[in-house]
Structure 1
Amino acid sequence: MRTELRPNSVNPLAVVRNLGILAHVDAGKTTVTERILFATGTIHKRGEVHDGTTVTDFDPQERDRGITIFAAAVSCAWDGHRVNLIDTPGHVDFADEVERSLRVLDGAIAVFDAVAGVEPQSESVWRQADRHGVPRIAFVNKLDRAGADLDRAVASIRDRLHPVPLVVQLPIGAEEGFTGVVDLVRMRALVWPDGGGAPVEGPVPVELGEEARRRRRLLEETVAGLHPAALEEFCGPAGRLSTGTLVSALRDLTRTGDAVVVLCGSAYRNRGVEPLLDAAVAYLPSPLDVPAVRGSHQGDEQRRTADPGGPFAALAFKVTATATGRLTHVRVYSGTIEKGDTVWDPATRRTERVARILRVMADRHEPLDRAVAGDIVAVVGLKSARPGATLCARDAPLLLEPPRVADPVVSVAVEARRRTDTERLAQALARIAEEDPSLVVRTDAETGQTVLSGMGELHLEVAVEKIRRDGGPEVTVGRPRVALRETVGRGVTGHVHRHVHQTGGAGQFAHVVLDVEPLAEGAGFEFRSAVVGGRVPQEYVRAVEAGCRDALAEGPLGGHPVTGLRVTLTDGSTHVKDSSDTAFRAAGRSGLRDALRACAMVLLEPVAEVTVTVPEEGVGGVLGDLAARRGRVTGSGSRGGAATLTATVPLAELFGYATRLRGRTQGRGTFTTRPTGYAPTPATAPPR
């Protein structure tokens, strides 16, 4: 069984397909990938996710957890085509892996559960693919499950993702009785034997004949309404579309994104995989069919077509550390690269040497002599290239736009369990941050903690576990301390301080009178002098100000920095011999510290403006949760069935919020944060 659409170009790139498998977690992406590898003869034994034996989920954590964590590339051949597949994660915490993969793909297969239809992360990856302009076909999986319904799943695709679905198959049987499909394009039946193997082709079953003809007519009408050439034939004497015209129109509509072809099956039972492969090579684009990649050089936009003879240009999208060396996964957009060549990284202005080129099969690799435009390969020997780096010919420089890196939303404090392992931990953290740009490592300047930030609590759990499994030190994980501030709630006036110090020689004398008052929220520190008659010379006034600034480092409530106050020097006196800059600086420092103890002080905590986008039916639960976190809602809006809430929330209350929000909204809620300053803690807030 093969599609009638076959490339007639002699260009070898016409038979290359760079595709990704996208879906919500547990929709069956990895099983679909595994069955594709089996159907193409790439592997000879089918692996199972629940047994931890699949090719692409090769990392020990993936096998332990039963989910895809890291995007894995594989390559196979089908009907004279080279198909490069990337199996992407489905969990929202690893959306950045999907983002980097989509940046280098030409097409994608979106997998949906026939029972659940469009699930929360299905929406997210679909929007990511929309943003990158990646054409897709859809595969409704798990039709053998109880409650599976192709039409309901397609309706959810139409209603929640808003494409025009073009269903090209009709299931034969339902749930446990699902045995095959009717191919509506060629009006034939494909039935898979119980023991596995290739499908048996035959005529459409009599009992499904009328329904198949009705659906074929509906398919033709929809395609004709979207495709001018198909409309012309549909309105002609025959009043219908030929198979060739329908196939051509489906290909055009898929590649322009005007519609999405929908197929169905059960990957676990090996039913529907071969037609899915046929559709992938028939409808999804080759490197020749996608627009030329755009880059820049010295501010000028440049384009590079998929030409093996053109100047070399590639994008690094993934870096992994293995026992045999550092692998940099690249998509070659233009030109040819051979092992031993040198490449130029225009961002770092460094030359790198390519020691080896590998075709990737998950955790196995096949050596290659060269890679050409359209290839997705791994190279060994690059020492400094990071994900998102451009590699090009030095005499034809080009800088490609890197994949977008999402801002982290969850942070934890990490430290080595043994003090002697601190340096090893720093090296391990630097290594995982190099491999995964969505992980951010920083040292809090105020608390001194090492803070690891990522896309979710599971993301951080995996990162910490990876450190341990890769031979790193034992790590203790905890909540980061919040950097508090102190401010003046009610000030004092006329606070007198005398600094007198005698040691037998020249002494120190300084006399200052200070007023302390609060400033408006968000203000820092102001100092001014109201001394008249030159009672405190100007050079000593500057010393008093410096001393006051010294005193701001530690407040009386808990030793936190002090902010939001104005200090006025109203009076003072000097001594002819013993007054000096040093004495007045000490007077300013000690005088303000004493004055702050006499003030009514307020403890401040950092707050952030949180913008939450949720389905309208989830607004009540989100509002309740924000209130429980001491959030103050400042605005709301609604658009397209989704509500947007804006609230000010203490930063300390946002730890764990990403996980809670996803749980309350079935993963459909998203949020962003923006620091907005500090606000009084409830225990020390001044009375209104």
Structure 2
Amino acid sequence: MPRKTLNLGILAHVDAGKTTLTERLLYAAGAIDAVGDVDAGTTQTDTLALERQRGITIKSAVVSFEIAGVTVNLIDTPGHPDFIAEVERVLSLLDGAVLVVSAVEGVQPQTRVLMRALRRLRVPTLLFVNKVDRRGADPGRVVEAIAKRLTPAVIPMGTVEGPGTRAARFTPYGLGDPAFRATLTEALTDRDDSLLAAYVADEHAVTDRRLRAELAAQTRRSLVHPVFFGSAVTGEGVPALSTGLVEFLPAEAGDAEAAASGRVFKIDRGPAGEKIAYVRMFSGAVRVRERLPVETVGDAETGAVGPRAAEVKPTAIAVSDGGGWARRPQVVAGEIGRLWGLTAARIGDTIGGSAGAVARHQFAPPTLETLIAAVRPSDDGALRAALARLAEQDPLINVRVDDTGREVFVSLYGEVQKEVIQATLAMEFGIDVTFRETTVICVERPARTGEAAEILNTESNPFQATIGLRVEPGPPDSGIEFRMAVEPQTMPLYVYKNADTFTEFMGRYVRQTLREGRFGWQVTDCVVTMVDSGYSVADGPPSRRGPVSAPADFRNLTPMVLMRAIEAAGTVVCEPVLRVSLEAPVWAISAVLTALGRLGAAVRHQSVRGDLTTISTVVPAARVPDLQRQLPGLTAGEGVIESTFDGHRPVYGDPPTRPRTTPDPRHPAEYLISLTRQGGRG
């Protein structure tokens, strides 16, 4: 009989104790012999040297253990908002989660952000109020804050004796406790009409067994959230939480005989530099040396939008097992595996068939960029290689390099991420770097339709090709669409083999050119159509007589024609804006609204519930860091910001520019010289 598996996430605000709780769960299950210490850098999940040094989780990690015959794959996720992409990437893979809240600090800003994400994705969630043994711990106050700030659908599962002392003890409630039974019955009947009807008809007919089963069912449907208490450091309350994991969260035995379907959620490198893909299997099995289709959404290199199909053949597989990884001939439904040999795999790839009901979570791209430089010029090449490795592990870190290779830009979420990149390069690669001031990443959109062409064997055209391109505005956030509107006989099919291949390569040349527009930003939300094409062969008709056209002619001519078409269309520089949900005490409304006005924010909605006000607004991404810095002072530390990408809007006034990293095709002499340096037509 297939084993049941629970893929579990541990989430929390920074320093609430989630990594320590992970250690304690592993120890209680017998997966490790001693509990690791975050400060000492001996934990199982904080494996990066930087994580051990800073005492924070940066990359998600996976460990497994067994509780009552259920295999628990525990995924330890970052808590800092600069790494929210790493958190969001994991959420769609989870069967359930534990949200850790400190009994001293209580509900903190990131706690509220994480709970909203968990509820939005309907991830069944238990809460663990940690640090009940610390001075200042007040479990009762924290439960009130959870009900007020996070969700009223919480059910405390016990009481704490001696909070704030090393002797603090957690005592679980039993259904023989009249007060607990009444609280539980009220919470459950509020959300289940059949249970309410049974209770009204005969309250004694609602047995303890039915109440317990209904608590599990409603927890698995994310309707209620049991709350446990304890101390991850001492282990108090952890056995009760462990029991709750398998009783209240949905552990399932996946169908290993179904068609294979899995998702790549992490990329790592082994000791020899080999690529390792972490895959969560939803159904079926992946076996060593078995060929399977893989689908990638988007293309970071070319800016292509839409699926890209390929094949993979894993050369080795390891499955998370007992706190470590064990080599296996296959990874099956419900399991998490490390796969070797997937050299082209990217985070987000679907292995095998569709992941079915599991939705891809789309999170905002980074909106900030900074120039990074090696302190020692001799490290320039090593820096580019190291950044490529980091970008592989996080696809939202985009790296741009100018054509000289001397200037390198990276995209970011925030200043802490910049510090982590700097420390990672120093500790793991031995490269010391400096950064310039962080700037916002804008885009360009065509203002109208523009068209241009270069005809074969004319004075202005140095290449053996005819290309005509039309650029038109596309819908907002539509990306780049390339269309072909020429007859097959005008295509150099003797080189590109068929019309589909020629279309694919021309689309690639177009997207590469659109990385830098009139003002240096990527051109997007447009439709580019090839309206003219021609080539030459040595013996003339049906084509033009002359030197044989080569792929380099089409590749090198495309930027010249396309940039002229963009000039004719004109472009509008647009800055990123974020949709911000801001929560603050009612008494701070006036000061917060004044600050939002100064930052150019447009308030869309405002509501008040109890002593909190929620403001929905749209803020330029460039001003959000200012708002984040001001909010604690304006709200006495009670303000919370949750932001999501809301697209781009035109910049008012003079458009900002970004230095080009490649020669400008609008200046033919400069452009042609650069091609000569790169090897001419080849």
Same fold (TM over 0.5): yes
1:474 to 432, 436, 448: 432
| Residue 374, structure 1, aligned to residue 364, structure 2 | no
CA-to-aligned-CA distance 1:404-448 (integer Å, 9 cap, x gap): 232214332112334444333222222211111232223589999
Deviation at residue 112 of structure 1 after TM alignment:
1.0
Distance 1:247 1:655, change over 3 A: closer
Deviation at residue 21 of structure 1 after TM alignment:
0.7
Deviation at residue 228 of structure 1 after TM alignment:
4.5
Percentage of matched positions with identical amino acids: 31
> Secondary structure at the residue paired with 2:429?
coil
Moved more, 427-436 or 66-75: 427-436
> Secondary structure at the residue paired with 1:349?
strand
1:613 to 581, 596, 606: 581
Distance 1:380 1:680, change over 3 A: closer
Structure 1: distance between partners of 2:59 and 2:322? 10
Distance 1:608 1:265, change over 3 A: closer
Give the length in aligned residue pairs.
Answer: 506
Partner residue of 2:445? none
Structure 1: distance between partners of 2:620 and 2:232? 47
Q: Is the 8 A contact 1:254 1:283 kept in 2?
A: yes
Q: CA RMSD in A?
A: 3.5
Partner residue of 1:317? 265
Partner residue of 1:333? 282
Q: Is the 8 A contact 2:154 2:227 kept in 1?
A: yes
Structure 1: distance between partners of 2:156 and 2:416? 36
1:408 to 356, 366, 375: 366
> Secondary structure at the residue paired with 1:411?
strand
Q: Which has the greater radius of gyration?
A: 1
> Secondary structure at the residue paired with 2:269?
strand
Q: Is the 8 A contact 2:386 2:429 kept in 1?
A: no
Structure 2: distance between partners of 1:464 and 1:419? 16
Q: Is the 8 A contact 1:73 1:362 kept in 2?
A: no
Amino acid aligned to 2:295: P
| Residue 55, structure 1, aligned to residue 44, structure 2 | yes
Q: Is the 8 A contact 1:606 1:679 kept in 2?
A: no
> Secondary structure at the residue paired with 1:34?
helix
Q: How does 1:377-396 map to 2 (within 5 A)?
A: 377-392=337-352
CA-to-aligned-CA distance 1:85-129 (integer Å, 9 cap, x gap): 111111111111111111111111111112232211111111221
Amino acid aligned to 2:259: P
Distance 1:605 1:404, change over 3 A: closer
Q: Is the 8 A contact 2:93 2:280 kept in 1?
A: yes
Partner residue of 2:318? 358
Partner residue of 1:88? 77
Partner residue of 1:152? 141
CA-to-aligned-CA distance 1:340-396 (integer Å, 9 cap, x gap): 222211333222211111123799522122211111121111101111000106xx9
Gaps of 5+ in 2: 297-307, 443-516, 520-571, 656-682
Gaps of 5+ in 1: 1-10, 188-211, 289-305, 485-552, 556-603, 682-688
Structure 2: distance between partners of 1:469 and 1:30? 22
Amino acid aligned to 2:2: P
Distance 1:446 1:368, change over 3 A: closer
Amino acid aligned to 1:227: D
Moved more, 442-451 or 666-675: 442-451
Partner residue of 2:387? 429
Structure 2: distance between partners of 1:227 and 1:635? 37
Deviation at residue 78 of structure 1 after TM alignment:
1.3
Structure 2: distance between partners of 1:16 and 1:648? 43
Partner residue of 2:248? 283
Structure 2: distance between partners of 1:57 and 1:481? 31
CA-to-aligned-CA distance 1:231-274 (integer Å, 9 cap, x gap): 45544656374331122011111011111111111111110111
Amino acid aligned to 1:181: F
Structure 1: distance between partners of 2:189 and 2:437? 58
| Residue 12, structure 1, aligned to residue 10, structure 2 | no
Structure 2: distance between partners of 1:231 and 1:639? 32
Structure 2: distance between partners of 1:154 and 1:397? 37
Structure 1: distance between partners of 2:92 and 2:121? 7
| Residue 252, structure 1, aligned to residue 242, structure 2 | no
Structure 1: distance between partners of 2:92 and 2:386? 27
Structure 2: distance between partners of 1:275 and 1:353? 43
| Residue 216, structure 1, aligned to residue 181, structure 2 | yes
Deviation at residue 167 of structure 1 after TM alignment:
1.6
1:117 to 87, 106, 109: 106
Deviation at residue 626 of structure 1 after TM alignment:
6.2
Q: Is the 8 A contact 2:12 2:111 kept in 1?
A: yes
Deviation at residue 463 of structure 1 after TM alignment:
1.9
Moved more, 635-644 or 429-438: 635-644
Structure 2: distance between partners of 1:625 and 1:448? 40
Q: Give the TM-score normalised by structure 2.
A: 0.67
Q: Is the 8 A contact 2:29 2:67 kept in 1?
A: yes
Structure 2: distance between partners of 1:79 and 1:647? 49
> Secondary structure at the residue paired with 1:406?
coil
Partner residue of 1:26? 15
1:657 to 626, 640, 658: 626
Amino acid aligned to 1:287: E
| Residue 638, structure 1, aligned to residue 610, structure 2 | no
Deviation at residue 610 of structure 1 after TM alignment:
6.2
> Secondary structure at the residue paired with 1:329?
strand
